[in-house]
Amino acid sequence: MQVAQKIGFFIDIIDMFKRLLPIAEARASLVPLGADPFNVVFDGFTSPTEASVNGKTVLLAGTNNYLGLTFDPDAIEAACEAMRLSGTGTTGSRMANGTFSCHRALETDLAEFFQCTSSIVFSTGFLANLGVIAALIGPDDPVLIDGDCHASIYDGCRMSGGRTIRFRHNDPHDLEKRLKRLGGAAEDALVIVEGIYSMFGDRAPLRELVEVTKGFGACLMVDEAHSLGVLGAHGRGLAEEAGCEDEVDILVGTFSKSLGTIGGFCVSRHAELDLIRYASRAYIFTASPSPATMASVRVALKKLAEGSALRERLWENALTLYQGLLDMGFSLGPEPSPVIAVLMPSREKTLFAWKALLDRGVYVNLVLPPATPGGVSLLRCSVSAAHTPDQIGFMLYAFASIGGLARK
């Protein structure tokens, strides 16, 4: 109660806010450390890789801007033209007055890009997972998810009322064991995994997971949020890289990583996917994405489809940073990828290290329990194709200065 009063919570007025006391205490504990990662304000951006924080130029190493397309001039011009022609927003859901020709055009583009029959655009990637899962899974239906799946997948499972069963991260044998326990009900199950996992940057063993899932007659959904534009010969994600696109029933993704804006989608080779439009509350009751967003995504998707130069540059940067941090003795995620997790020995050292990096002009993501798998604390870097070799070198220089904090 003392902490709550100190930071101004009106606990005595509204008892309901008492449940937020642990959050208040956690935030108050950051004050003596001089770190407040929840209150970093970017005053302006000069490029996909640089911004201003409190008047100081900061190198961005935690933005998920994998292909660096947020400042692409063609995407910006397309967004501006769409806004001039169709206004700033739709003011309605897709089922009401919010379906514009640009939404249908992007859905056609996505279906062609993924070589699929059906495509649906959502307002965010989070809503895409909520909307698809809650529409497909009914009360007590089994849904099996990798233990490291994103919060949106967990929330979609909760909303569905289905029977959520977690299997060990990237463990096809554990998935097989849990499907076997379901008996005949396994044929009605939905299995959900991700292409690249957002915390540690590791891939799913998709080929093995496909074999297990299809062996029981279950359906498979893959969230390619962090792998779209990153993996595969054409950038379609892990399913393309693993050579099993035809065996994945549903792909879900977001526009907020490689495509540089906001929104979400799902695609499928099953024409029945279109029925989700009539069953998904996240689709029916949410205002649709703006015309400007749709226009910029179409341009970014076209650039992704036209060549691999950006993807190759992204991987050069990712491998350089990963190997450089490894050579310094940092404990990292299990494999190189554009998501590079630096595992830290304690919460306090993680906070000090995050603040030290920011003071040296490098912004990374601070991730603490309970947001992390296994309760670890980590500094999360995300690499961009737009980073120059000098900027990657500067990141390594900054991390070298906090090496002592990474040791137990």
Q: Which residues are catalytic?
A: 198, 226, 257
Beta carbons of 66 and 384 less than 8 angstroms apart: yes
Phi, psi of 349 (to 5 degrees): -65, -35
Beta carbons of 363 and 59 less than 8 angstroms apart: yes
Cβ neighbours of residue 127 under 8 Å, at least 6 residues apart?
152, 264, 282, 283, 286
- For β-strands 219-223 and 264-268, DSSP reports them as unpaired
Best CA proximity match to 340, nearest among 326, 353, 328: 326
**C-alpha to C-alpha distance for 252 and 392, rounded to whole angstroms:** 31
Cβ neighbours of residue 253 under 8 Å, at least 6 residues apart?
125, 128, 223, 224, 225, 228, 237, 264, 265, 266
At 265, which helix (H) or strand (E)?
strand 264-268
Q: How many CB atoms lie within 10 A of CB 31?
A: 11
Beta carbons of 250 and 120 less than 8 angstroms apart: no
E-strand spans in 26-86?
42-47, 50-53, 56-60
Angle at 406 between CA 194 and CA 53, to 5 degrees: 75
**C-alpha to C-alpha distance for 81 and 29, rounded to whole angstroms:** 47
E-strand spans in 106-183?
118-122, 142-146, 163-167
| DSSP per residue, 359-388 | HTTEE-EEE-TTSSGGG-EEEEEE--TT--
